[in-house]
Structure 1
Amino acid sequence: MRDKIQLGRRTAAPDGEVVVFLIGMRVNHLWALHRWLPVFFAMPAMLRELVRDRSAGLLHHVLLTGLPRTYYVVQYWESKEKLLDYARSPERKHHSWWGRLNRYVRESKGHVGIWHEMYVVPPGRYESLYGDMPVSGLGKAYGVAPAGAGARGRMKVAV
């Protein structure tokens, strides 16, 4: 299915801070499937859970790859609290997977690596522009508005 192209210039329209979570894995030894395949399949299971239960706080996600070795997900969240609550909740898939993932990585002896980064960005400290394209990224997570002012005006700080 194709997303509808939004003609003109648009910008993301979050109300408040923006929470972006990047998480990924790197396959260090391609031939050792038994070492990295369980890690590879963990994220889709958690994403399915989050998409089914929107109250958990995930607004949007994008799966990306740096073939053939690196796979990662960009996630946009309602709040840092909801992200951290999801990660800690014993009722959620992340809790049980986290222990398993750490064991797989530890036992893989360098065959697979994992990483994550979380960014909590205050209002006025992010900027986005989408021109003649489908809504994506921050705009898909938080909604869009006409772009209007240049980057300096959208950020509300000196650029």
Structure 2
Amino acid sequence: MLPGRNTAASEGDIVVFHIGLRINRLRSLSSWVPAFMSMPRMLRELSQEKSSGLLGYKLLFGSPRDFYVIQYWTDKEHLLAYAHQQDKEHRPAWTAFNRRARDGKGRVGIWHETFIVPAGSHESVYDDMPAYGLGAATGVVPVGRRGDTAAQRLSAEER
């Protein structure tokens, strides 16, 4: 736990990528287990390669059938490059998922959303808690360094 009020140390633009999996048929293990198991391998690979562009991530669970990850990236170029690299974990996992999805008839679903957030368009506050989300990905600084209110922090990031 970090005492007091803190904010993410992030400066400049940020890319926020949400990706998730929904199990539509629990008993169809062969449809969803491979996709479920591929995400930890990708996150491990990205985390170990400092030049990957991945700043950090947070695993979250919705209902018992919904799992997702929020990822923080330096820029869209790194995110898109990883998605297409043949020698990395993502491309073969995506190809295998598509093959199973054609045969699986809706037994598992996946989704993603990408947000390109310019400097001055994001702010954060963490009050008496460990670094979380963007703060965990980029580190934290005391709120006062960026302004005591959300409006001040947003305008400070534009400079």
The two structures share one fold, judged by TM-score above 0.5: yes
Work out the CA distance in 2 between the residues paired with 1:105 and 1:117. Answer: 20
Shift of 1:97: 1.3
Deviation digits for residues 67-123 of structure 1 (CA, Å, limit 9, x no counterpart): 310011111112111111111111111111111111122221011000001111001
Is residue 101 from structure 1 mapped to residue 90 from structure 2 by the alignment? no
Shift of 1:146: 1.4
Give 1:143's aligned residue: 139
Work out the CA distance in 2 between the residues paired with 1:104 and 1:45. Answer: 19
Work out the CA distance in 2 between the residues paired with 1:12 and 1:51. Answer: 19
Map 1:46-125 onto structure 2 (within 5 A): 46-125=42-121
Shift of 1:55: 1.3
Q: What is the aligned-residue RMSD (CA, Å)? A: 1.3
The one of 36, 49, 69 equivalent to 1:40 is 36
Alignment check: 8 A CA contact 1:76 1:141 kept: yes
Deviation digits for residues 125-154 of structure 1 (CA, Å, limit 9, x no counterpart): 112100011111111112212112201111
Query: How many percent identity over aligned positions?
Result: 50
Gaps of 5+ in 1: none
Letter in 2 for 1:24: G
> Following TM superposition, where does structure 1 have runs of at least 4 consecutive aligned residues deviating by more than 3 angstroms?
none
Give 1:152's aligned residue: 151
Shift of 1:13: 2.1
Work out the CA distance in 2 between the residues paired with 1:150 and 1:52. Answer: 35
Q: Secondary structure at the residue paired with 1:61?
A: strand
Work out the CA distance in 2 between the residues paired with 1:103 and 1:10. Answer: 45
TM-score for both structures, normalised by structure 2: 0.91
